[in-house]
Structure 1
Amino acid sequence: MENNNTDLMRMIQTKFSRLSKGQKLIAEYILKHYDKAAFMTAAKLGASVGVSESTVVRFANQLGYEGYPELQKALQELIKNKLTTAQRIELSNDFIIPNNALKGVLKSDIENIRATMEKINYEAFESTVNSILNSKKIYIVGLRSSAALADFLGFYLNLILDNVKIVSYGMSDIFEQMLTLGEGDCVIGIGFPRYAMRTVETLNYAKSRGADVVAITDSVLSPLATKADYVLIAESNMASFVDSLVAPLSVINALIIAVGLKEKDKISKTFTELEQVWQEYQIYSYKTNKDINKF
């Protein structure tokens, strides 16, 4: 079903009078507690209002969805950019058992990887690789929690190419760092809920200057996606105060490797020279445990 998620709550209100008694209980709960309902299974939502799991499924069908997972996804799209950090902490207490946080987080990350494999546009991925290779200059912008992803992508692309710039907060404004941006350049914007407004503004600026725009984000409904020529979707869902960046990092790893494979001879030479520098200036430890135990 193609629903505008911003109209979901209004649709529930409109159809309320036609719902069964049990379905009305579900509707009332969602209208009041949609932030929690978005991360509940059908069974848990049913138990919370005193109805069966099958009643929850029929409620989703009544709204026009093929099943409950589709309704749940619509709820998540509706609220994930609106949750405050305090609300995320409250949700994490409900959906991640404190004594088993490791298992809960790992399972969530596995699901994010699986969903990313299903949703990512492989043509957009190849187009992004070609844009990176053919651009005069590549700008990478990712702010707040996405800064780690931007730094990682920039670090490795800088080892492969010589025209990469990581744009970040500093002495000069972001737009000042992109003053010469224009046609033939590429801007890669990275952002996940809650989306940093400065990243969105940067992509809008890049679009106005005629540059190729790539968005690495969580949904085609993301404000970054609406500004982009190529959108790479990576799931980041987690009912917690910490963003799940596992799937986005995996997509970024794939980008780096894909670019590297097309510049294989160049990076082979680069890493040979780097290895000499690393050894000469003792950047890494080359001693084994056996060597250390001698002292």
Structure 2
Amino acid sequence: MSENQDLMKKIQLSFQRLSKGQKMIAQYIMDNYDKAAFMTAAKLGEKVGVSESTVVRFANVLDFEGYPQLQSELQEMIRTRLTTVQRIEMSADYSSEENTLKKVLKADIDNLRITMDSIDYKVFEASVKSITEAKHIYIVALRSSTTLADFLGFYLNLIRDNVYITSRSISDTFEMLFRVDKDDLVIGIGFPRYSSKTIEALHYAKSQGAKVLAITDSILSPLAANSDFTLTAKSNMESFVDSLVAPLSLLNALIVAVGIKEKNKVASSFAKLEEIWEQYNVYSNKEKNSK
């Protein structure tokens, strides 16, 4: 039984023993789980017409320690189910530009905090090691995650050889992956709603014996099913836009850690690059241009 069915089944099985107010909460959640998942206990109670304490007791009846745990499971349940239209409807609470700014920044701060608190440092270290040891590195990402692939690929290409970004089209992805083998690393990046093509590419890479690193939002992500290492970063956002702040920060940490491991090689590469950048005026130099 899937997690979605587990939670809904739990509510259904408990329905008969709930109080009148708790039944109203249960019915609202079953009918409007996408909206309830982002309501506070007070707001849910107000919407249903019961007290906040009734909402808390409802969570306890379902064997949750409190309402935040129930809310977290609801949010986990809907990660891959919300359509863009539903996500736009959820943005209705952004009532002003100032409120929008504060809510988005707070959500990103929360995503960063949760990511930092939940990171598995042993997996992070193993991921860094796999990047430094791989013969070839292929980065697979589609849709909004292509931004992350470009960022990671840009810096890894400055640190080491044989880094390929396969995010432009799925046909290009398989054409670039068809020689992948046990000495290579494939990095798959994907967040809800997950690209089915990214999942298929990781499955193929795994079948060829390559190591697979998944960078996604949860160990329950379908990208994790074919990975040797899974690094998670939260991307929750009550809007139609995906939050890439925590994922980008995680990639930043990976790049820095790899750079430290390859310190001598990085220093040599950047020394040569600085000469090229200077010679061909890659970067603006106001002081030089003013002379």
Aligned 8 A contact 1:5 1:74 in 2:
no
Structure 1 distance, partners of 2:91, 2:125, is 36
Task: Within 5 Å, give how 1:58-207 maps onto structure 2.
Answer: 58-94=57-93, 96-99=94-97, 100-170=99-169, 172-207=171-206
Amino acid at match of 1:239: E
**Displacement after TM superposition at 1:273 (Å):** 1.2
Describe the SS at the equivalent of 1:165: strand
Aligned 8 A contact 2:170 2:197 in 1:
no
Describe the SS at the equivalent of 1:224: helix
Structure 1 distance, partners of 2:203, 2:5, is 23
Q: Deviations over 1:74-113 (max 9, x none)?
A: 111111211111111110113x333321111000000000
**Displacement after TM superposition at 1:65 (Å):** 1.0
Q: Deviations over 1:170-195 (max 9, x none)?
A: 49531111111011211110000000
Structure 2 distance, partners of 1:53, 1:229, is 43
Amino acid at match of 1:52: S
**Displacement after TM superposition at 1:73 (Å):** 1.1
Report what 2:30 is aligned to: 31
Aligned 8 A contact 1:129 1:258 in 2:
yes
Amino acid at match of 2:168: Y
Report what 2:16 is aligned to: 17
Q: Deviations over 1:214-255 (max 9, x none)?
A: 111111111011211111010000110000000000000000
For structure 1, the 5+ residue unaligned runs are none
**Displacement after TM superposition at 1:4 (Å):** 3.1
TM-score calculated relative to the size of structure 1: 0.94
Structure 2 distance, partners of 1:14, 1:254, is 45
Structure 2 distance, partners of 1:69, 1:92, is 21
Amino acid at match of 2:25: I
Structure 2 distance, partners of 1:280, 1:173, is 34
Q: Deviations over 1:123-179 (max 9, x none)?
A: 110000001111111111111000000110000000001021111234953111111
Describe the SS at the equivalent of 2:32: helix
Structure 2 distance, partners of 1:148, 1:39, is 27
Aligned 8 A contact 2:3 2:77 in 1:
no
User: In terms of mean alpha carbon deviation, does 106-115 or 134-143 score higher?
Assistant: 134-143
**Displacement after TM superposition at 1:286 (Å):** 1.1
Structure 2 distance, partners of 1:101, 1:246, is 16
Aligned 8 A contact 1:97 1:104 in 2:
no
Structure 1 distance, partners of 2:70, 2:265, is 49
Structure 2 distance, partners of 1:172, 1:36, is 37
Amino acid at match of 2:258: V
Structure 1 distance, partners of 2:196, 2:169, is 17
Q: Deviations over 1:231-286 (max 9, x none)?
A: 10100001100000000000000000000001111111111111111121111111
Structure 1 distance, partners of 2:252, 2:238, is 25
Amino acid at match of 1:39: F
Structure 2 distance, partners of 1:62, 1:117, is 31
Aligned 8 A contact 1:200 1:224 in 2:
yes
For structure 2, the 5+ residue unaligned runs are none
Shift in CA distance, 35/142, structure 1 to aligned 2, threshold 3 Å: same
Amino acid at match of 1:243: D
Shift in CA distance, 170/201, structure 1 to aligned 2, threshold 3 Å: closer
**Displacement after TM superposition at 1:37 (Å):** 0.5
Describe the SS at the equivalent of 2:112: helix
